[in-house]
Amino acid sequence: MYRDFAEVLSMADGVFLLPVFPADEMPIEGVSSTLIGDILKQKGHKGYDFCSDMDEVVTRICSRVREGDVIATIGAGDVSIVGEKIQQRLERKGVTLDAVAIKA
């Protein structure tokens, strides 16, 4: 499945990867967001980076977002919080959002 994620994400201008947090299951040895990052690197994608936590990813996205950008957060668990935090921070900065869809 991680190869499919990497394939789709390779089409994005920017990708921020968070650590994998298994929901209600034991972590699987060797399974991490690095697997996706490695494939992006192999494909020559230069616009990806790893973030240590949700606060870091929110800060980094909000510092890079420009008019006309589309931001998508994908993942399990409470990753929908990232979208909400991005929306709140951008609105505090006075950025007008054309559309927002947040689904947990």
Domain residue extents for the chain: 1-50, 65-104
Rounded to whole angstroms, the Cα distance separating 80 from 72 reads: 10
DSSP string, 56-72: HHHHHHHHH--TT----
pLDDT tens digit string along 70-99? 898 888 778 888 989 999 999 999 888 887
Tokens of 82: 């990232």
pLDDT digits (tens, 9 = 90+) for 31-70: 889 999 999 999 999 999 999 999 999 999 999 998 888 8
Average pLDDT over residues 4-30: 86
pTM for the whole structure: 0.81
Residue in the block written with tokens 């006309």:
68
